Amino acid sequence: MNMTLQFFGATKEVTGSCHMLTVNEQQVLLDCGLIQGSKADWLRNHDPFPFNPQNIHAVVLSHAHIDHSGRLPNLIKHGFTGPIYTQRATAQLCSVMLRDAAVLQERDTDRQNKKRAKHDLVPLEPLFTEKEVDQVMAQFVELDYGQRVQIADSIEICLSDAGHILGSAVVELWLGNKPEQKKLVFSGDLGRAGMPILGDPTFIEQADLVLMESTYGDRLHRSWQDTLVELKAIFKTTINESRGNILIPAFSVGRSQELLYLFHLYAKEWDLSRWRICLDSPMAIKATEVYVKNYPLMDEDFKRFTRQSPGQHPLLSCAEFINSTEESIELNDIHKGLIVIAGSGMCNGGRIRNHFVHNLWRKEADIIICGYQAMGTPGRLLVDGAKELTIHGQSVKVAARIHTVGGLSAHADQAELLRWYHHFEQSPGVILVHGEPEAQQVLIEALNQDSATKPKHSAIAERGDCLDLTALPEFVWLTTASESNEPSER
């Protein structure tokens, strides 16, 4: 039996998740995400797929974040016609996120083509349009957690809660037939135990191979309690000193809803009643509506709190929802007493950039960075101490106070990744994806330090690597990034 796993994205980087399983002649993709970061990174999304989309039998999508789902429309544009298996809430969120991405791309492409026309240049095409998004939605097969289904000959899957965002899933895959059957577990993006709104990541016990994310493999987050203390101090200082506005770049799905919940819970303790809180993101507003509808997927604390406060939903009670461009522009005239939550989370698009133009240069303003910032993004530049940013073609001085609040991260830290892996019995082999090289190296060393739970084999995936799954538990590489002919072992 032919059974391989090949890596095409999120290899030694955090975005562009894409891995291909082949069982006999059936090809199945795990995720198909956008590459994010610098302009050069974005342009890589226009490169041809390193496989023929027409030959893909099915896609299994771990969750809705654009770096995992964002190239699905492009996959369909180039001939993929098969089913896309995912959790029900993920499908609903993809309708929001992919449509928003399509509109932005069409708008940006139209703007560029007007400039190109003046120089008699060939017009560009957007990566995908709303037409392809409509087709993505038609090809979704929505699953519940715990539902085991056959998706191809000799391939079965089951999704479990990953605790990262609404609908996020750990994917269990059974490949081939007994007695040669192998089990692969794909972590997707793992969340953190004890975080608000969502359930904890699911522990899995059996696997022949674990494909694990490693975003924060080199660090520990602040405890949840310390994070709440840190946020309270930021708001207290700003309020007491009568400083300017607070801007929070936030991912539209996950982080924005978490912030709304926190502001509802701690409005009195953080003295927020005198502040105007605005969610200035049409996509985040639509995503919040999806969260509200999927009440049964929330953790017990959230459901209990909601039941005890009829008519005062914790995601809808504390903030104004700013939908129109005109309403957003009106916020520019407010110089203090305003908290703005806006996308994009990495500050490389969206309304947060307009708010930066009007506030980033003001020493009275505060910026709270509360999510992962990929290399090359404006958010990463702020975290790294940039003195100015280029926004809409103009240089904007950075005078505002920058706060990096890592404890709000929706990704597991090193200790939580290790804890999740250590629940597997018999220490299966592990391959790290979705992480920068430094973080991955630290994590793989940590995995191998404990003799009792040391993986049988471990590796950091590189783009193009192809693993022979029939040889498990041994790692036999049929193709590596540097070698493409002879089978080899690392």
Six-digit token string for 135: 């087709």
Six-digit token string for 56: 């893909």
Q: Do residues 173 and 118 both lie within one domain?
A: yes
For residues 436 and 268, give the distance between their C-alpha atoms in angstroms, rounded to a whole number: 39
DSSP-H helix ranges across 294-391: 300-308, 325-330, 352-359, 378-383
Beta-carbon contacts of 220 under 8 Å, excluding residues fewer than 6 positions away, are 413, 414, 415
Q: Do residues 48 and 74 both lie within one domain?
A: yes
From 371, 386, 408, the end of a domain falls on 408
**CATH classification at residue 141:** 3.60.15.10
For residues 96 and 25, give the distance between their C-alpha atoms in angstroms, rounded to a whole number: 34
Within-domain flag for 484: no
Beta-carbon contacts of 187 under 8 Å, excluding residues fewer than 6 positions away, are 162, 170, 210, 211, 212, 213, 420
Q: What is the pLDDT of residue 311?
A: 64
Within-domain flag for 391: yes
Within-domain flag for 337: yes
From 350, 376, 408, the end of a domain falls on 408
Within-domain flag for 265: yes
For residues 379 and 436, give the distance between their C-alpha atoms in angstroms, rounded to a whole number: 16
Within-domain flag for 455: yes
Q: How many domains does the chain have?
A: 2
pLDDT digits (tens, 9 = 90+) for 58-78: 999 999 999 999 999 999 999
Q: Do residues 36 and 83 both lie within one domain?
A: yes
Q: Do residues 200 and 59 both lie within one domain?
A: yes
Q: Do residues 188 and 324 both lie within one domain?
A: no
CB 394 within 8 A of CB 356: no
Q: What is the pLDDT of residue 306?
A: 77
What CA dihedral angle connects 62, 68, 74 and 75, to 10 degrees?
-40
* DSSP codes joined into one string, 16-78: --EEEEEETTEEEEE--PPP-SSHHHHHGGGSPPSS-GGGEEEEE-----HHHHTTHHHHHHT
* DSSP codes joined into one string, 241-263: TT---EEEE--TTTHHHHHHHHH
Within-domain flag for 486: no
Peptide bond into 473 cis (omega under 30): yes
* pTM score over 0.85: yes
Q: What is the pLDDT of residue 239?
A: 79
Q: What is the pLDDT of residue 309?
A: 66
CB 466 within 8 A of CB 483: no
pLDDT digits (tens, 9 = 90+) for 240-271: 787 899 999 999 999 999 999 999 989 989 98
Q: Do residues 53 and 176 both lie within one domain?
A: yes
Q: Do residues 10 and 69 both lie within one domain?
A: yes
What residue ranges of the chain have pLDDT lower than 50?
A: 484-489
From 374, 408, 442, the end of a domain falls on 408
Q: Do residues 421 and 369 both lie within one domain?
A: no
Within-domain flag for 23: yes
For residues 106 and 104, give the distance between their C-alpha atoms in angstroms, rounded to a whole number: 6
Within-domain flag for 417: yes
**CATH classification at residue 276:** 3.40.50.10890
Structural domain range at position 239: 224-408
For residues 183 and 57, give the distance between their C-alpha atoms in angstroms, rounded to a whole number: 19
> Please, what is the end-to-end C-alpha distance for the chain in angstroms?
22
For residues 435 and 447, give the distance between their C-alpha atoms in angstroms, rounded to a whole number: 15
Q: Do residues 200 and 265 both lie within one domain?
A: no
For residue 403, give the nearest of 252, 194, 227, 218 by alpha carbon: 227
CB 266 within 8 A of CB 161: no
